A = this chain, B = another copy of it.
Amino acid sequence: MVQSCLGDRLGRYLRLVDAERHALEALEESERVVSRGQVLRAEQAPARELFVVRRGWLYSSMLLPDGNRQILSVHLPCEFAGDTGMAWHNAPFTLVAATDAAVGVIDKAALRRLFAEHPRLGLLLYTLAQAERVALADRLASVGRTSARARVAALICDIMRRLRATGEAVESGIPLPLTQEEIGDATGLTAVHVNRMMRQLVEDGMISRTNGRVHILDEARLAGTANHIDRFATIDTSWLGA
């Protein structure tokens, strides 16, 4: 049986008992594989299920009536994707594979059982959903109130720290499998301007780039210009109980 990394991730926040771990493993009923650029689920498509990223990156985006696109968040391995669609029949966002990727599929009905049988996990999921809201709010503040330079720095910083949280070796550089157009759609900039800001960060010695990977040369200064706060480092779930 393919084991879910969901249990691993939740286990970071709570010491899971066996029954809980098994329940989490049973949650994902199947796997779906998508290749770079492919749409896993389009806006307005039926949303009967949500996903857990197993390999690769995805992102969710929405298309505005005027044709503009906003990338809302990037989903790294072991994170949820498409869980925001729970409250609707039809998906509010489009899910796209940023790299070749594989996801576990969770039916909404399975969640109902999980909440009933493992209330503590339900509360943990609720708490983590709130943490995701905070992450989105941080992005809103970045896009709404900081310069183009800072926004690009923030995106890099955010991804780097989230990768580090999963135990990835970020010192040897991180992958950044997004086109500059995608980075622009995520930060509210044009691709052209993203390009200029990136090379400015390079010139200033904060990062360097080599074919699709980014090396962080001066994390403190990068985080400083990004106005970035590492919120996920301080998450506290102790009140959820033993």
Number of copies: 2
Residues of B contacting A237 in the complex (Cβ-Cβ under 8 angstroms) = 87
Min Cβ gap A223→B in Å is: 10
Check A137 against B87 for contact (C-beta < 8 Å). no
Residues of B contacting A185 in the complex (Cβ-Cβ under 8 angstroms) = 145
Q: In the complex, A123→B83 CA distance in Å?
A: 13
Check A84 against B188 for contact (C-beta < 8 Å). no
Within 8 A of B (CB), among A65-83: 65-66, 68-70, 72-73, 83
Check A126 against B115 for contact (C-beta < 8 Å). yes
Check B122 against A112 for contact (C-beta < 8 Å). no
Query: Taking each of A92, A122, A144, A236, which has the highest tally of chain B beta carbons within 10 Å of its own beta carbon?
Result: A144
Min Cβ gap A195→B in Å is: 18
Q: Among B109, B130, B227, which residue has its beta carbon within 8 angstroms of that of A129?
A: B130
Contact of A112 with B62 at beta-carbon distance under 8 Å, contacts A132-B133, A140-B143 already known: no
Q: In the complex, A220→B39 CA distance in Å?
A: 31
A139 at the interface (CB under 8 A from B): yes
Q: What string of 1s and 0s marks CB contacts (under 8 Å) between A79-110 and chain B? A: 00001111111101100000000000000110
Q: In the complex, A59→B70 CA distance in Å?
A: 24
Extra inter-chain contacts (9) besides given A87-B134, A115-B122, A136-B140, CB under 8 Å: A62-B137, A109-B239, A112-B123, A119-B122, A125-B126, A129-B133, A140-B143, A143-B144, A145-B188
- Could you list 13 A-B pairs, sorted by A, with CB under 8 Å? A65-B224, A68-B146, A84-B133, A84-B134, A84-B137, A87-B130, A87-B134, A87-B235, A90-B234, A132-B133, A136-B140, A144-B188, A145-B185
